Amino acid sequence: MGNISVCRNINSEKFTWDGDKKDRRSAILEGQAIGRTIKGAAASPGVAEGPAVVLSDPDNLAALYRIKEGALLVCSTASRNLIAIIPRLAALATERGGTLAITSGVAREHGVPAVVGAAGLAGMIKTGDIIRVDGTTGTVEIVKVRPAKSAHI
């Protein structure tokens, strides 16, 4: 038999208990919202800022192909269907998915900033909100919320 490697924790960052049911480390690792910043996994480096386009169903090909060039796409999962439009995006942010997923690799290949595994993302962001996707740190920040249209009688 060959050598057996021993796994060890290489994360030297210290986390403290914040008084909630989960410690701060769990909240960050699970992608929970922290103020107006949502933490996920850094899948492809770079930063992009602009209006968000929220796609509720990445398997809806008709809606997927209507997404315009330069969009900051927010969706629930890193579906394989996204592969075809990733080169057109300014950034990608998903609630589920991992850094080793094929969509993350395609985003890196095309230089598109991407954050994946940011739980609660699609529920917090609406189409038209101004967001900043930082694929280097793995954060999505809501810069400005789209104003609600007032109802006229």
Q: CA torsion 67→73→74→76, rounded to 10°? A: 60
Average pLDDT, the chain: 78
- Please state which of the ranges 20-24, 127-131, 132-136 shows the lowest mean pLDDT: 20-24
Domain ranges of the chain: 28-144
Q: Which residue has the higher pLDDT, 153 or 132?
A: 132
For residues 134 and 140, the answer to whether their CB atoms sit within 8 Å is yes
Quote the pLDDT of residue 145: 83
Give the CATH number of domain 28-144. Answer: 3.50.30.10
Sheet holding 139-144, edge to edge: 33-34, 37-39, 139-144, 130-134, 47-55, 72-75, 91-94, 114-116, 41-44
Stretch (H or E) spanning 27? helix 24-29
Question: Does pLDDT of 57 surpass 80?
Answer: yes
What SS3 class is residue 54? strand
Mind listing the pLDDT tens digit for each residue in 90-130?
Answer: 999 999 989 999 999 999 999 999 999 998 888 889 899 89
- For β-strands 130-134 and 47-55, DSSP reports them as antiparallel
Question: Does pLDDT of 139 surpass 90?
Answer: yes
Quote the pLDDT of residue 147: 66
- Read off the pTM: 0.72
Question: Does pLDDT of 40 surpass 80?
Answer: yes
